[in-house]
Amino acid sequence: MSILVVGSVAFDSIETPHGQVERCLGGAATHFALAASFFTQVRVIAVVGEDFSAQHEAVLTARGIDTAGIEHAQGNSFHWRGAYQGNLNEAQTLQTDLNVFASFQPKIPAAYVDSEYLFLANIDPVLQSQVRGQMPKVRMVCGDTMNYWITGHADKLAQVLRGLDTLLINDGEAKLLADQPNLVTAAERILQMGPKTLIIKHGEYGATAFFSERSFAGKLRQRFFRVPALPLAEVVDPTGAGDSFAGGFFGYLSAQPELTLATFQRAMFYGSVMGSFAVERFGTERMQQITRAEIDQRFAFLRELSHLEAD
């Protein structure tokens, strides 16, 4: 089993109440791939510039991630500058430099075409569609997006949404996408746009899945499911939490023999666990150090945290 991911591999300049970093390794595909690599084989489609060194690539390959699909182009890599002021659940984008992504034409290496799972991480929806179109036989497609693409590229995004099994976005993005201030109503509208299932992430408050009639091949038992976030005493940098959630969620799910409500729920717990690690250090620092044993420990804790005995 393997997941193919397309998305940004980037350098991030980030300011949080804990300090600031300039041009650390980031990007939606990077955070996703690192988190998913604990559960399954991951292959990356992206483009980087001349500023992306062998040491940067080694962060991915050290976790067994296949980087053959990362194209090296002339110019600079994608760069994002963001800040968190007061509200750690919401990044303020100060600058987005697409750089080499502006003229990127994704090509899927022949060795990647048999990937059964596809993650369309946050990037231009035109690129997401191009990759989706080259993978007609995948078993499951999940995707993510953000304000930047929702407001500026709505038509292109609508096409991506029609091809998704599961969309993962945060509260603010869901309300913006649906043009609706109530989350439940927003979720209903988004489910009508294409995805069979929607996961809305609430930062430090966890994440909620909204199921439709088309979730689990129509064998629907419940409409909602919520997973808590792990309570942490210190959040250093929330960047990448959403992508790490997605990596834990989809990484675990893709390694299961069957997609059922139970495996989906467990996958959301793994998503929450991986998100909790991501925020403990700047950039990818924490994710590079964790072990499978630590993941299992947090999973057990999260399970206990939300368990209610039957009467």
Residue from 163, 194, 240, 248 binding ligand AMP (CB under 6 A):
240
Residue 79 phi, psi (nearest 5): -130, 130
Comparison of 10 and 259: residue with beta carbon closer to ligand AMP: 10
Instruction: Give the N- to C-terminal CA distance of the chain in Å, as an integer.
Output: 40
> Site size for ligand AMP, by CB under 6 A?
18
> Nearest to residue 230, comparing CAs of 283, 269, 261?
269
**CA within 13 Å, CB half, 296:** 4
Closest distance to ligand AMP from the beta carbon of 216 (Å): 26
Residue 239 within binding range of ligand AMP, rule CB under 6 A = yes
**CA within 13 Å, CB half, 95:** 14
Residue 31 within binding range of ligand AMP, rule CB under 6 A = yes
Phi-psi category of 258—alpha, beta or left, where left has phi over 0 and alpha has psi -120 to 50? beta
Residue from 4, 5, 6, 27 binding ligand AMP (CB under 6 A):
27
Is residue 35 within 8 A of residue 298, CB to CB? The reply is no
Residue 28 within binding range of ligand AMP, rule CB under 6 A = yes
> Nearest to residue 71, comparing CAs of 48, 95, 100, 97?
48
Residue from 39, 52, 80, 299 binding ligand AMP (CB under 6 A):
80
Comparison of 28 and 290: residue with beta carbon closer to ligand AMP: 28
**Site mask, ligand AMP, residues 108-137, x = CB under 6 A?**
--------------xx--------------
Closest distance to ligand AMP from the beta carbon of 32 (Å): 8
Q: Which residues bind ligand AMP (CB under 6 A)?
A: 8, 10, 12, 26-28, 31, 80, 96, 122-123, 146, 148, 239-243
